[in-house]
Amino acid sequence: MAKLVATLASTHHPFYLKATTAPPDQQMPQAPEWKRKIEAYRETLAKTKPDVLVMVGSDHFHQIFLDNCPQFLIGKASRYDATFYNEEREFGIPKYLLEGDEDMSRFMHQSLMDQNFDFAFSNELKIDHSIICPIITVRPDNDLPVVPIYTNIFAPPLHSPRRFYDLGRAIRKAIDDYPSDKRVAAIGTGHLSLELGGPRQFMETGPDPVFDRQAIEWLRAGDIDAILANVTHQSMEKSGNATHGFLNFILMLGVAGPEGADYVDNLDLFHTMEAYFTWYPKEQAA
């Protein structure tokens, strides 16, 4: 059976590449520290020597729109183009071509359906920055095949935090059951408190620093009970209108299981708290 070797959950900041590759005299003051933190985080993946990446993200109205809007979707293709024109325009993110793993996508789709998750699928999926940002940060060589999974964190109504956690558990089971000797890493991105297009956007900190610090401690401890007792759609809305990206962190904790994280780091940037978590599976007793 396939072996999950690491679960990574992080924020995705579309300006990382631009911020850290601008000429030094034009860089923001935090750029060198940001780069050091990202390179350290990258090593938490590299040391596990994965063969394939299950990538969890959320399309930002690039391919998916309100005329046809799935809650959960899996890509099933041999390759995926990435980066849309308006992402190049706004964030300076280049185009990418990612290899797919159709066999694993097919297996996972069936497994998730069998576990009562009604997944939509796409045989021609173009990937946006929710999945390209972590490629840029933790696997910039882009040398591994991916299985992309999209969640709706954007167009209400959204699934509950509990449903996101349960989906993470189901994704974990699908990986564990996959008949292959491959080493699998699961990587998902979202946000802590975040405001976009509202009165609290682009402040000196994220819109709710208290939530940010609490969320980091919950994830550090793997405390899903505290998360589910405290985080609701209403509470996320109060923390910032785009805070629902935290649902993907809850999903990734589901993939890892309710365990303390093995690696935790964060960086207080203008307008967001960046956060980076890695879990390594505990070895099963023989």
Residue ranges that bind other proteins, judged by CB under 8 A: 60-62, 65-68, 84-86, 89-90, 154-157, 196-203, 237, 241-242, 270
DSSP 6-70: EEEEEE--TTHHHHHHS-GGGS-TTHHHHHHHHHHHHHHHHTT--SEEEEEE---SSS-BTTB--
Q: Which residue has the tokens 């729109």?
A: 65
- Of 110 and 232, the one with the shorter C-beta distance to other proteins is 232
Least Cβ distance, residue 5 to other proteins (angstroms): 34
Least Cβ distance, residue 66 to other proteins (angstroms): 6
- Of 155 and 228, the one with the shorter C-beta distance to other proteins is 155
129-132 long-range contacts, CB within 8 A, separation 24+: 129/12, 129/14, 129/60, 129/83, 129/87, 129/91, 129/93, 130/12, 130/57, 130/58, 130/59, 130/60, 130/189, 131/55, 131/57, 131/82, 131/189, 132/82, 132/83, 132/87, 132/93, 132/96
Least Cβ distance, residue 229 to other proteins (angstroms): 23
Structural contact between residues 269 and 13, judged by C-beta atoms closer than 8 angstroms: yes
Compute the CA torsion angle 5, 7, 13, 15 (nearest 10 deg): 0
Least Cβ distance, residue 91 to other proteins (angstroms): 10
Helix (H) or strand (E) segment spanning residue 268? strand 263-269
Least Cβ distance, residue 202 to other proteins (angstroms): 4
Least Cβ distance, residue 175 to other proteins (angstroms): 30
DSSP 155-188: SSS---HHHHHHHHHHHHHHHHH--S--EEEEEE
**Cα separation, 128 vs 265, whole angstroms:** 25
**Cα separation, 138 vs 264, whole angstroms:** 14
- Of 78 and 270, the one with the shorter C-beta distance to other proteins is 270
Least Cβ distance, residue 232 to other proteins (angstroms): 14
- Of 158 and 264, the one with the shorter C-beta distance to other proteins is 158
Least Cβ distance, residue 255 to other proteins (angstroms): 26
- Residue 121's Cα: distance from chain center in Å? 18
- Of 3 and 233, the one with the shorter C-beta distance to other proteins is 233
- Of 159 and 169, the one with the shorter C-beta distance to other proteins is 159
- Of 89 and 286, the one with the shorter C-beta distance to other proteins is 89
**Cα separation, 272 vs 183, whole angstroms:** 33
- Of 241 and 266, the one with the shorter C-beta distance to other proteins is 241
